[in-house]
A and B are shown apart, each in its own frame.
Chain A
Amino acid sequence: MTLEVKDLNYGEFKNFNIVFKSYRSYSIIGDINCGNETLFRILSTSIMTNNSIFFNDTCLNVDTRFSYLRKIGVIKEVNNNSFILDNVYDELAFSLKKLNLDEEEIKTRIDFYLKYFNLKIKSKKISELNLYEKQLMMVIMALLHEPSIIIMEDIICNLKLEDYIKVNKLFSYFMDKKKLIVIKFFNNFDYVNHDDYIYVMDNYEIIKKGFKDDLMVDDQFLNKHNLRVPFMYDLSLKLKMYKLIDKVYLNMEDMVNDIWK
Chain B
Amino acid sequence: MEIKIKDEKIKVTKPSIIGLMGNNYETYLEELSHNKRSVGYIKKNEYYYTNYVYDELLLFMNRCKCEVKNVAKRMEKVLDSLSLPYSFLEKEISDLSKGEKRILSYLRIFIFNPKVLIIDEPFKNLDYKYEKIVINYLRELKNKYNKTIIIASNNSNIIYENTNKTIIIDKDIIFKDTIKLFSDNEIIEKYNLNIPNLVMFSKLAEKKNKKIKYYQDNRELMKEVYRNV
Contact = CB atoms under 8 A, between A and B. Distances in A.
Given A79-B45, A130-B24, A31 B218 contact: no
Interface string A23-37: 000000011110001
Contacts of A253: 204
Interface residues of B, number: 37
A256 B128 contact: no
B197 A242 contact: no
A33 B129 contact: no
B222 A238 contact: yes
Interface in A106-154: 130-131, 154
B201 A252 contact: yes
B226 interface: yes
A130 B22 CA distance: 13
Nearest to B206: A256
Contacts of A223: 128
Interface in B151-173: 153-155, 157
A37 B130 CA distance: 17
Contact of A31 (B127, B205, B222): B127
B229 A244 contact: yes
Contact of A234 (B100, B207, B218): B218
A161 interface: yes
6 closest residue pairs by CB, A with B: A32-B99, A226-B129, A228-B128, A31-B127, A256-B204, A260-B208
12 contacts: A31-B128, A33-B100, A157-B121, A157-B153, A160-B154, A161-B154, A223-B128, A239-B222, A244-B229, A252-B197, A252-B201, A259-B229
Given A37-B97, A130-B24, 6 more contacts: A31-B128, A33-B99, A187-B125, A227-B128, A239-B222, A252-B200
